[in-house]
């Protein structure tokens, strides 16, 4: 059996599509990294704007100095420094800080001040100047104010349906499991990985579809199906070898894609922040996870989405006569849901849309949202519902692909 799997795997790996696919992944990873780095900016101590690698280095140095638990004392100190800088007339250019004063004083607290602005802003919207109304004593309410924001979000009226009392209680209980004070550090590297990971997963899934599309349909096209299916193990071991080879190829291609992108970003930004709370970059997120845990879960969810697309493609490959048509149909299923707008009147419809593979690929988004699936009396958070759906459908589709080729009647 193992020699058969190795044979089928070699056939897949040696195809031009596989090499082209990995080249595309490398190019996309490089372009995403360059785009992310070029968008970075910071103000140095002379008041000059610096960009790119220099900005990243300064941001990492300034923010990492405050690594540790984000205590109310640390938050209060940031508020005090904010006011102290503005109470010094020499720092002002009109009513605002001069660029030089900003670079020397406020910028090192930029990440903490951003969190303060988000959490203390009124319900109506984001107030950049809300810190002007705060004192260091207000810092003691930081974590309670965050919970108030969560409660406000859950109590809001939504056209597609409001949260039930039970749903609100479920999410409030989840939030209470989040350890406070938050673990804080420089997180730009992991933030950029999480924000852009879905693009790499999407590209990997499409390439997987292209690579496995000829597994069965290629045999029909070449006429080899008559030889395979008339052989002793053509309707059993050979088919299983093709399925195992597809799974191995999908796993290897997916992991290589993820590692290339992740290592590129972290090589530039640094690994700092892996143990920071998810709430540092998404303050309202309900899951008690660190950024590393969020990354692992997002990768797992993306892998299950890739496996689901692989099994769907294999089913099509067993039914269709040419790989080209398999690729077209797989692409429609993969891309189609991206163009379906969310409903403004039905949360159930939106839940269905989110179970398509392309939606599963954005794990960071799903772990930041407040969505529950109610199944047989159980309340299941959206990421776990996505993972369960992918596993169940993959287990259903894989035997269908097996039977589809086994039962094929040779002309």
Instruction: Please tell me which residue, 285 or 234, carries the higher pLDDT value.
Output: 285
The length of the chain, given as a count of residues: 411
- Average pLDDT, whole number, for the chain? 92
For 47-95, the pLDDT digits (tens) are 999 999 999 999 999 999 999 999 999 999 999 999 999 999 888 888 8
- Residue the block writes with tokens 């008041």: 47
pLDDT of residue 411: 60
pLDDT at 8 > cutoff 90: no
Q: pLDDT by residue (tens digit) across 271-298?
A: 999 999 999 999 999 999 999 999 999 9
Q: In the structure encoding, which two tokens stand for residue 130, read together?
A: 């809300």
Q: What is the pLDDT of residue 288?
A: 96
Under a CB-based contact definition with an 8 Å cutoff, are residues 216 and 292 in contact?
no
pLDDT, mean of residues 147-170? 93
| Confidence check: pLDDT of 116 > 70 | yes
The 3-class SS string of the chain reads CHHHHHHHHHHHHCCHHHHHHHHHHHHHHHHHHHHHHHCCEEECCCCCEEEHHHHHHHHHHHHHCCCEECCHHHHHHHHHHHHHHHCCHHHEECCEECHHHHHHCHHHHHHHHHHHHHHHCCCCCCCHHHHHHCCHHHHHHHHHHHHHHHHHHHHCCCCCCCCCHHHHHHHHHHHHCCCCCCEECCCHHHHHHHHHHHHHHHHHHHHHHHHHCHHHHHHHHHCCHHHHHHCCCCCCHHHHHHHHHHHHHHHHHHHHHHHHHHHHHHHHHCCCCCCCEHHHCCCCCCCCCEHHHHHHHHHHHHHHHHHHHHHHHHHHHHHCCCHHHHHHHHHHHHHHHHHCCCCCCCHHHHHHHCCCHHHHCCHHHHCCCCCEEEECCEEEEHHHHHHHHHHHHHHHHHHHHHHHHHCCCCC
Instruction: Give the per-residue pLDDT at 129.
Output: 92
pLDDT value at residue 406 = 78
pLDDT tens-digit readout, 199-226: 999 999 999 999 999 988 877 777 665 6
Tell me the domain boundaries of the chain.
2-37+186-406, 71-163
pLDDT band of 410, cuts 50, 70, 90: low
pLDDT at res. 385 = 96
pLDDT tens-digit map of 337-349: 999 999 998 999 9
Closest CA to 115 of 275, 282, 269, 273: 282
- CA–CA distance, 314 with 307 (Å, rounded to integer): 10
């Amino acid at each position: 059996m193992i020699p058969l799997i190795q044979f089928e795997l070699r056939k897949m790996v040696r195809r031009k599509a596989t090499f082209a696919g990995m080249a595309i992944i490398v190019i996309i990873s490089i372009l995403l990294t360059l785009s992310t780095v070029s968008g970075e900016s910071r103000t140095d101590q002379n008041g000059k704007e610096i960009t790119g690698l220099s900005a990243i280095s300064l941001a990492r140095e300034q923010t990492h100095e405050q690594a540790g638990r984000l205590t109310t004392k640390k938050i209060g100190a940031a508020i005090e420094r904010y006011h102290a800088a503005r109470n010094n007339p020499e720092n002002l250019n009109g009513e605002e800080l001069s660029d030089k004063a900003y670079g020397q004083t406020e910028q090192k607290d930029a990440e903490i001040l951003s969190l303060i602005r988000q959490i203390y802003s009124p319900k109506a919207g984001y107030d950049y100047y809300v810190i002007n109304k705060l004192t260091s004593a207000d810092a003691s309410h930081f974590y309670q104010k965050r919970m108030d924001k969560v409660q406000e979000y859950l109590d809001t009226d939504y056209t597609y349906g409001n949260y039930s009392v039970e749903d609100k209680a479920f999410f409030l209980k989840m939030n209470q499991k989040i350890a406070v004070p938050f673990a804080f550090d420089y997180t730009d590297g992991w933030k950029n990985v999480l924000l852009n990971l879905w693009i790499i997963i999407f590209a990997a899934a499409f390439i997987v579809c292209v690579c496995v599309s000829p597994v069965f349909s290629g045999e029909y096209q070449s006429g080899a199906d008559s030889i395979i299916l008339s052989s002793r193990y053509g309707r059993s071991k050979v088919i299983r070898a093709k399925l195992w080879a597809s799974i191995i190829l999908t796993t290897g291609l997916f992991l290589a894609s993820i590692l290339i992108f992740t290592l590129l970003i972290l090589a530039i930004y640094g690994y700092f922040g892996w143990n920071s709370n998810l709430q540092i970059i998404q303050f309202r997120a309900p899951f008690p996870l660190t950024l590393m845990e969020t990354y692992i879960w997002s990768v797992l969810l993306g892998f299950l989405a890739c496996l689901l697309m692989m099994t769907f493609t294999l089913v099509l490959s067993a039914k269709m006569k040419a790989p080209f048509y398999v690729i077209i149909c797989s692409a429609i299923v993969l891309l189609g849901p991206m163009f379906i707008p969310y409903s403004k009147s039905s949360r159930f419809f939106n839940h269905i849309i989110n179970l398509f593979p392309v939606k599963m690929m954005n794990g960071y988004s799903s772990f930041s949202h407040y969505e529950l699936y109610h199944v047989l009396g159980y309340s299941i958070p959206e990421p776990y519902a996505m993972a369960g759906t992918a596993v169940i459908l993959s287990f259903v589709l894989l035997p269908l692909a097996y039977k589809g080729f086994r039962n094929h009647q040779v002309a």
